[in-house]
Chain A
Amino acid sequence: MAILGKERQEDWEVVYEGVNGLMELYTEDPDSKGMNAILKGFGKFTEDLFGAVDAGRPVVWHNCGCSPELIKGLEGVQSMPIEVLPVLQDLVGDVNYTMALIDEAEAHGLAPEVCSIDKAAVGSALKNLYPAPVAMLCHNTPCDSQIAAIKTVAELTRKPVRMMDVPYLYGDREVRYLAAQMREAIPFLEEHIGKRFDWDRFKAVCEESNRTAEYLRDWNELRRHMPCPQVSKIVALVTALLVAFSGEAEGTAIARAFRDEAKERIERGESAVEGGETYRAVWYQDPVWWDLQFYDWMESELKLVIPMDLFGYYSPETLIDTSTPESMLEGLAAKSLRAMPMSRQFKGPIDNFVDDYIRLCDDYQADFGIFAGHVACKHGLGGIGLFREASREAGIPLLYFEFDMFDPRVTPVESIQAEISHFVDDVVKPRKEAG
């Protein structure tokens, strides 16, 4: 399928070429089942999005805090996260395009303090790089920057927006509160899409979402194995999987490939690190999406593997109960509140944020933790004092540095490499040698 066209400018071409180039690279590697699957998914997403445009099918935008199952409950609708283009540019395309989009949004007047991905999403809308939506369905999570971006994008497109209020806490009362809003969003979607919400279809979507979740839970377990069987960078991609592919067979295929690859490599006794891993660390807050090769560097130069990070961790608490419409809405609400990475940790009390980290360090037998502080994420950075205290109490050495997960201009990769190298040399290695 051709990606060329008036509304599919160079910004999209670089993504499509990047996906295809990487797929060629990884297809030749028999040990890259997981990477192949997600690259195939990215390619398919791009084709589906423009396929929908060509076919005249409606496109509904959503934000990364909003899991897309509800939108997929309507036949023939294409969902699109508003962050998708810069995310793909960072992961598989060319980060220079993301930087240009960030600058575009700042020039438009978006505050510099707003998260770079939200600025880049606004930049994409400003440059008309997305197929026009019929409506937008959003959650006001995981952060305030998301709200700023949604409001700006809504203003630019002048399309109707349904913003669901995700409550501060995570209890059953909050689940019912969010589920009620999801129910109210259904007529909104029906009105603007011009189709009836199909509960049977929604049930199938939720079942698919559960299948993905089950594979992810198995995969989370398998990555505890020592040595870690799979490359580090793959954990950073799970959030992209959930946001784009929840409720789709493609999502399940990717999660299954992650699981199968880990299982097979464990059976073959293979390690993610050539020559064997020396150090294990839990990576927390945000991953380095603008340079996935950075993870290869950690493995080859430091013999350091990341068995799990915040973006890869899938909380085992949540599967959607598909027995009734109410249970499905409540299950989806519970997933949004308690399972979606970032929404689970950054919204509300700091307990999940800190407790998940301590538990991950224990479960994955980490020698240390890396708190990669994405500069715009005040929800995460605001709790650094409590986070440090908890790390000290648990006896887990913690490396902290600041960077921007979408923009290498804030902290270049060489600086991040130096931070990690020094910490390993000064703190981790002597402790490990001393036993």
Chain B
Amino acid sequence: MSQGLITAGIDIGSTTSKAVLWMDDHLGPCVIGPSTTNPRGTAHECYERVLALAGISAAEVGYIVGTGYGRTKVTFANENVSEISAHGRGAQKLLPSARTIIDIGGQDTKVILLDGRGQIVEYVMNDKCAAGTGRFLDFIARTLGIEVDKLPALHMDGEYRPVRLSSMCSVFIESEVINLINDEVPLPSVVQGLHQSVAVRVAALVKRVGLTEDLVVTGGVAKNAGIIDALERSLGIKMKALAEFADPQVVGGLGAAVIAREIYLKRGNKSTDPV
């Protein structure tokens, strides 16, 4: 009865919105777009784009689950789940050995601990401070006058000699970075220092839930190899890579789509009314 079943996950994040199709228990097309001030419209747009990519109609989708900060605005979803559940499920689906999931998103950082059955045991969040988030890296990249996607290359440029940024606050770190630039400190050292400051914060969260291997990083910031390098140095442990075909930025949406499939099958192929 699950043959050919298609489900969808819609992840409305603070910075980007994602739509993912899970088709016949495999990852289907995904789209990523910027979040806007109209989350309902953004959700619809992402969903229509992913349906078009798959060449299917909405009627062919069995169940839809929304997630992310804007999940309640995904009005066409059958239900919604938290980002914690979605990222936990998504990462575990892609890497069944994953026990600790670090999700560095635009607005917050989450560390999720799973047990051997893939059930969430514990999680911690840094959602009250910008330092240690994707938004922080965007903001400092602007101060440095570079594109955020250039940060990994700068991090890997030459020896690892990160500057030590003393401030815990993103606003004050900007002042420190400006002073470092004025002092002609090499840009790679500044970038390494930035990544280290994020990594130290994230590592503290990881230690709070108890460092358990395998570790994976999800969320848009996981695409920054400099952050992964700094995290591995801070934790003294190698991160596990997700399957190559999976973009770490869509893991939340993917998890939502997987949960959608599970709910649909559990309910005996019955959709519920949209939330």
Contacts and interface: CB of A to CB of B under 8 A. Distances in A.
Nearest to B112: A426
A332 interface: no
A385 B119 CA distance: 22
Instruction: Choose among A392, A426, A434 the residue with the greatest number of B CB atoms under 10 Å from its CB.
Output: A426
B122 A389 contact: no
Given A388-B208, A392-B210, A422-B84, A427 B120 contact: yes
Contacts of B117: 434
A398 interface: yes
B78 interface: no
Contacts of B210: 388-389, 392
B110 to A, nearest CB: 11
B258 to A, nearest CB: 13
A397 B123 CA distance: 10
Q: Number of contact residues on B: which range applies?
A: 10 to 19
Contact of A397 (B84, B121, B124, B208): B121
* Majority SS at the chain B contact face: mixed
Given A426-B84, A426-B85, A392 B121 contact: yes
A434 B88 CA distance: 16
A430 interface: yes
Interface string A416-430: 000000100111001
Contacts of A426: 81-82, 84-85, 88, 120, 123
B82 A398 contact: no
A9 B149 CA distance: 64
A411 to B, nearest CB: 11
A431 B119 contact: yes
Contacts of A434: 117, 119
Contacts of B81: 425-426
A422 B120 CA distance: 12
Contacts of B208: 385, 388
Interface in B63-101: 81-82, 84-85, 88
B82 A430 contact: no
A357 B258 CA distance: 36
A20 to B, nearest CB: 40
Interface string B194-220: 000000000000001110000000000
A425 B119 contact: no
B103 to A, nearest CB: 13
A346 B11 CA distance: 43
A398 B208 CA distance: 12
Interface of B: 81-82, 84-85, 88, 117, 119-124, 208-210
Kindly list the 3 A-B residue pairs having the minimum CB-CB distance in the complex, ordered from nearest.
Answer: A426-B84, A427-B120, A426-B85
29 contacts: A385-B208, A388-B122, A388-B208, A388-B209, A388-B210, A389-B210, A392-B121, A392-B122, A392-B210, A397-B121, A400-B124, A422-B82, A425-B82, A426-B81, A426-B84, A426-B85, A426-B88, A426-B120, A426-B123, A427-B119, A427-B120, A427-B121, A427-B122, A427-B123, A430-B85, A430-B120, A431-B119, A434-B117, A434-B119
Given A422-B82, A427-B119, 11 more contacts: A388-B209, A389-B210, A397-B122, A422-B84, A425-B85, A426-B85, A426-B123, A427-B121, A430-B85, A431-B119, A434-B119
